[in-house]
Each structure stands twice: as C-alpha cells, then as structure tokens.
Amino acid sequence: MANSFAEFLKREAAKVRARRIGSSTFIEEELRGERRYHLPTDFIDALFLRSEPGEHVVVEKGVLRELRYRLDELENEVRKLRRRNRALEVLLVACAVLLLLSVMR
Amino acid sequence: MKGLQMYVKKLEEEVRARFVGNDEAVGVLTLNLLHERSTALIRAPRGRGKSTLMLLFLKGIFGDDFVVLSGASEIKRGEVVARLHIPSLEREGVEKVIWSAFVKARGKGLDEVNRLNPYTASNIYHLLQFGEVWAYGQRYVVGDFVLFANENPADPTTFVHPPPFYDRFDVCVRLSSLPLSDKFRLQELIEKHGSLVDSMPQVLDFDTLREIRREVSEVEVDVDLLATVNVLVRDLQACIRDRDGGRIKPPALCEGCHFVHGICSSVREGPSERATLVLHNLLKAKAWLEGKATEDDIYRLASYVLPHRMELVRQDRGPEELARLLRRQRELNEERRARKQWAILESLTRSFNRELYKLAAEIAVEDLIFAEELMKLEGEWVSKGLLKPEETLRSRLMPDAATH
C-alpha cells in the first residue's frame, strides 16, 4: 500500500471514536444531512418520493418494464374489482326487489 | 510577501489591469504557470479576448521573446518543427536540421488551435507529450517552457482534434462576455493604453520563473487534500462494468447496474491520471503563492482541470453539468466522513474482523471506490481462509468475475 494512502487512512482513523467491547467494535456515525443535489437518473425518486424531477429524465429499460408490469397488474386488479362491483350491484338490486316484494305482501 | 511571490502577484496584477472581467480565469492561468512545461487552453467564442489574454501573459514573462503560431494561417512543418538546411544538402549531401523558432522558444503560443490541421496538431501533440520533437531522424529535447493556446470550438473551420490531444493541456478556461459596467471599463482602458498588449510590461524573466517552479515543486501538499483529489478523480473514473474497455457507454451501459445512481452513471469518458497530477501541481502553486490550499480550492480548480479531458452523459448542458457533479461529489465526501468508512478500512487493513467486514460490505454497496479497496483486501482474506469466496463482496457485485 502506498505510504501516503496508509497515512491518510491512519489520520481518518485517529478522528474516529471507536469503542471495543469484547470482540465487537462500536463506531459512532455522525448525522448525515439531507442530500441537496440529485443525479439525473432519479426517476424512481420523482415518482415515489415526489421529488422535483430534472428537465430531462432518463429511464432505464428495466424500470420501464417494471412500471409497465405494475400498470398491467393494476389494470387487471381494476377489471376484477369492476366485475365484482357489477355483481354486487346486481345482488343489491335483487335484494331491493325482494325487500320491496316482501313489504308489499 | 516574499520576493518571488511578489513577481507572480505583480504579473497577475498587470494582466488584470489590462484584461477586463473573467477574474477567476486569470487567477487559474497564473497558478498554472508555476509548474514545469505548463500548458493552458483558453476557449471562447469570437471576440472575447482569447488571443489578448494569451499575449498578455507571454509578454509579461518573455517581453518580445516568444513565438506564436497561428492555426488560421497555413502552417508548414518547417514552422512547427524543423526544416533541412538546403545548401548543406546540395553541396555536401549532409542532412542538417534547422529547428524551428517555435520549438526553440521558451514562450510558445498557439492561436486558434482548432484550425490546426491534423498533421501539425500531431507534431505539437508529441511535443506536449514527451517534451521533445523529431525531424529527419534527429531529436530535439525542448526542456522547460510556457505554452498558451486558444480556440473557438464553434468556429465552422474547426478540425476535430482527438481527446488525447486536449488531455495534454493542464487547464482549460472559458471566457464569458462582459457585463455592462465592464464594457465601460474596457473602453476606458483602450483609450488609456491604445493597444493593451503593447502596453504590457515584462514583469519577470524565464530564469526567475524556473526558480519559482523549482520552489513550488518542493512544496508538500497535505495528505487530506491529496486524498480529496484522488477520491474525486477516482469517482469520475470508476465503473464496475469497465466503461473504458467496451463500446457501450452510459447511460445504456448502466441499465440494471447496482451503482446506477452513482456519479459514475453521469460520466461517458472519465478523466485521465493527468487530472490528479495537474490538480496536485495547482494545489502546490496555491500553497506556495498564498500560504495555504483548501478543499474549496480543489473543487474550484477541478472545474478548470476536468472539462476538456472528460465527457459527461449530459455534455449538452455545458459547464453547469460538471458544476453539478462537483457539488454532488462534495456531498458524497461528507457522507463518507460521516460513515467513518476510511477508519473502518484502516482497521481492516491491519487485521480481519468479521463484524467490521460486514459493516464495510454494507457501506461498499453504496460506494464503488470503497468497494474497490475492500475487494482488494478480500483476495488475501480468502487465501488465508478467513473468508469464503461466496461470502465476498466481489461475488455479490461481480458474480461473473468472481467465478474466474
């Protein structure tokens, strides 16, 4: 290992408070600030974390495939729920008719 | 202030007194003079003062003893490198080489470098690369020099020079147009001096500059600053999918990559190792001239050292894209410090500790250059039987490479 690299690592190590309990080493991390600058590929962040997208958004093919899959799944779910909804509507109308007939008797 | 520093400050002042605006560019060009075989490229659209700035510096150091080649005129090989002495050849049949004034001059200028034809550019490329020129089987060692070049990349008669040619220039400064108040200042200056270049005094000579360069070369830069420089350049170079070895470049290369959100995915061609050497030289110069160099200086100077020697995915955004990456890089370094990852690496280099290794591996999946260093250590641990190959970070991040 280069001497100056080893010196840099030693200096960094000297700045850290580490505790050793038994065979375990505990290192205290500092609090990290919120990221101020984002890279251009933050499409998922823009979508799910509602962060502000850049002027151009680059989407990987894989993400696009994933999104298309999720959209298809959601549409299937909507279709299924719509069918169930219609069945319930029919049931409700039938119940209402039966109720009306029973009252009329 | 010490004697030699005074000369440099005086040179900078005299240039500033004649060149309106672009203060930071003048400061960077001054710092870049303070190391051996300095080369600087000034880029700007027409009429921004590229040639004036180049001539002001050359005149301030060499008086009238410098040579400027103009790419706009048709330059012959004899003007750039050498020609044969015809009488010797005709009478005695001896090939006597007469080296060109440009090769021999300590102060060199290249006006409109974008118009140099590829043949001339390759001669200059060799000079910048090896500090020597060849002609008719003979070699001439150029030695130390100062070279300024300028170009207007938007010029329709531009030759596209290869990226390695531009990599030989230490720094590249862009000149912006003048705000309203500066235009008034420029008019006053021209009325006062007539020709700005002619009015420039010679402030120092080349022997003094060589003495300054010798002193600057002996300055030691703090290891923390060196680490910041090396981490910055490595972050811009690193790619776990070997970007430099293939024809597919980011963003296409990054599809499905674990590090797709890293800085690496914004870089199509990373900088060469010259970037670290130049930044190191500039930090030495800054410390010598002003008594100290800081981390802020690294990021400020990087915006002059990097733009001509790398290509970004969003190159169309211009200098702002590099500025954005540098801001992001600063933030990344703050995160690295907060995670104490270098201290963890230091501990692991001394001895293997499984708990600490697990923590390091977690950090490494967020940080490619940390992962590279950790993977270097893994080989030794695997050979000693401290770690199984399938437990390594390499097998997680590079499953194909790990099986070889």
Q: Does a cis peptide bond (omega within 30 degrees of 0) precede residue B389? A: no
- Count of domains for chain A: 1
Q: Is B259 helix (H, G, I), strand (E, B) or coil?
A: coil
- The token duo for A4 is 């100056």
pTM of the model: 0.81
At residue B153, the pLDDT reads: 84
Residue B371 token pair: 């992962």
Residues B126, B101: Cα–Cα separation, whole Å: 17
SS3 B349: helix
Give tens-digit pLDDT for A39-56: 554 566 667 666 666 666
State residue A37's pLDDT score. Answer: 52
| B127, amino acid identity | L
A/B interface, count of CB pairs below 8 Å:
91
ipTM higher than 0.90? no
Start and end residues for every CATH 1.10.8.80 domain found in chain B: 220-337
Contact B260 A41 (CB under 8 A): yes
Sequence-distant (6+) residues with CB within 8 A of B399 are none
Q: Is A3 on the interface with B (CB under 8 A)?
A: no
User: Phi/psi at B225 (nearest 5 deg)?
Assistant: -70, -40
Nearest to A38 by CA among A50, A26, A20: A50
Q: Give B353's contacts in chain A (Cβ within 8 Å).
A: 23, 25
Q: Identify the residue among B235, B259, B342, B352 best suited for mutation to test binding to A, counting A beta carbons within 10 A and taking the highest.
A: B342
- Beta bridge pairs of residue A18: A27
Superfamily of domain B3-217: P-loop containing nucleotide triphosphate hydrolases (3.40.50.300)
Residues 290-349 in B contacting A (C-alpha not used; CB under 8 Å): 313-314, 324, 327-328, 331, 334-335, 337-340, 342-347, 349
Compute φ and ψ for B132, nearest 5 degrees. Answer: -150, 160
- A16 and B343 in contact by Cβ < 8 A? yes
* Nearest-Cα residue of chain A relative to residue B347: A13
Contact yes or no for A31 and B337 at CB 8 A: no
Give yes or no for B353 touching A (CB within 8 A). Answer: yes
pLDDT in tens, chain B (404 residues): 578 999 999 999 999 999 999 999 999 999 999 999 999 999 999 999 999 999 999 999 999 999 999 887 767 777 888 889 999 888 988 889 999 999 999 999 999 998 888 888 888 888 988 889 988 889 999 999 999 999 998 888 778 888 899 999 999 999 999 999 999 999 999 999 889 999 999 999 999 999 999 999 999 999 999 999 999 999 999 998 888 888 888 888 887 787 877 888 889 999 999 999 999 999 999 999 999 999 999 999 999 999 999 999 888 888 889 999 999 899 889 888 888 899 999 989 988 988 889 889 988 988 899 999 999 999 899 999 998 988 888 888 776 655 54
Nearest CA in chain A to B323: A37
Q: How far is A37 from chain B (nearest CA, A)?
A: 6
Residue that has been written with the tokens 């990054």 in this structure: B254
Where in chain B are all domains bearing CATH 3.40.50.300?
3-217
Of B49, B55, B45, B61, the closest CA to residue B22 belongs to B49
Tell me if A8 and B327 make a contact (CB, 8 A cut-off).
Answer: no
Contacts of residue B226 in chain A, CB cutoff 8 Å?
4, 8
Domain B220-337 superfamily per CATH: Magnesium chelatase subunit I, C-Terminal domain (1.10.8.80)
CB contact under 8 A, B340 and A16: yes
| Maximal C-alpha separation, chain B | 83
With contacts defined as CB-CB under 8 Å, which chain A residues touch B334? 32-33
For residue B307, give the 3-state DSSP assignment: coil
Separation between Cα atoms, residue B190 and residue B176, nearest integer Å: 19
Q: Which residue has the tokens 């981390």?
A: B295
| Parent domain of A18 | 2-104
Measure the CA–CA gap between B226 and A11, rounded to whole angstroms.
Answer: 13
- Alpha carbon of A47: minimum distance to chain B alpha carbons (Å): 15
* Residues B63/B74, Cβ–Cβ less than 8 Å: no
